[in-house]
Amino acid sequence: GQQLNQSPQSMFIQEGEDVSMNCTSSSIFNTWLWYKQEPGEGPVLLIALYKAGELTSNGRLTAQFGITRKDSFLNISASIPSDVGIYFCAGQAGTYKYIFGTGTRLKVLA
Amino acid sequence: EAQVTQNPRYLITVTGKKLTVTCSQNMNHEYMSWYRQDPGLGLRQIYYSMNVEVTDKGDVPEGYKVSRKEKRNFPLILESPSPNQTSLYFCASSRTGGFQPQHFGDGTRLSIL
In tens, the pLDDT along B10-33 reads 999 999 999 999 999 999 999 999
The DSSP output letter for B46 is E
pLDDT at position B88 over 70: yes
In angstroms, what separates the C-alpha of B88 from chain A's closest C-alpha?
A: 10
Closest CA to B32 of B49, B45, B55, B56: B49
pLDDT at position A85 over 80: yes
My answer on whether omega of the bond before B75 falls inside 30° of 0, hence cis, is no
Closest CA to B36 of B108, B103, B111, B113: B108
Query: How far apart are the C-alpha atoms of A54 and B47, rounded to whole Å?
Result: 30
Helix or strand or coil: residue A109? strand
- B-chain residues near A54 (CB < 8 A): none
- A41/B4 touch (CB, cutoff 8 Å), yes or no: no
Helix or strand or coil: residue A82? helix
Using DSSP bridges, classify how beta strands B65-66 and B108-112 pair: parallel, antiparallel or unpaired: unpaired
Query: How far apart are the C-alpha atoms of B106 and A3, rounded to whole Å?
Result: 22
- B-chain residues near A42 (CB < 8 A): 4, 90, 92, 104-107
Closest CA to B4 of B72, B61, B71, B53: B72
Q: Spell out the residues 6+ positions from residue B62 whose beta carbon is closer than 8 angstroms to its own.
A: none
pLDDT of amino acid B72 = 97
- CB nearest B44 (choices: A1, A30, A31): A1
Helix or strand or coil: residue A83? helix
- B-chain residues near A100 (CB < 8 A): 35, 42-45
Please name the residue of chain A whose CA is at the shortest distance from the CA of residue B94.
A96
pLDDT of amino acid B1 = 81
- B59/A2 touch (CB, cutoff 8 Å), yes or no: yes
**In a mutagenesis test of the B interface, which of A3, A50, A97 is the best target, namely the one with the most B β-carbons within 10 Å?**
A97
Q: Does residue B57 contact residue B47 with C-beta atoms inside 8 Å? A: yes
- B42/A98 touch (CB, cutoff 8 Å), yes or no: no
pLDDT at position A95 over 80: no
- B-chain residues near A32 (CB < 8 A): none
pLDDT, tens only, A58-71: 999 999 999 999 99
- Each as own residue / partner, the long-range contacts of residues A16-19 (CB below 8 Å, 24 or more positions apart, any chain) are A16/A78, A16/A79, A17/A78, A17/A79, A18/A75, A18/A76, A18/A77, A18/A78, A18/A79, A19/A75, A19/A76, A19/A79, A19/A83, A19/A106
| Rg of chain B (C-alpha set) | 13
- A42/B92 touch (CB, cutoff 8 Å), yes or no: yes
pLDDT at position A43 over 90: yes
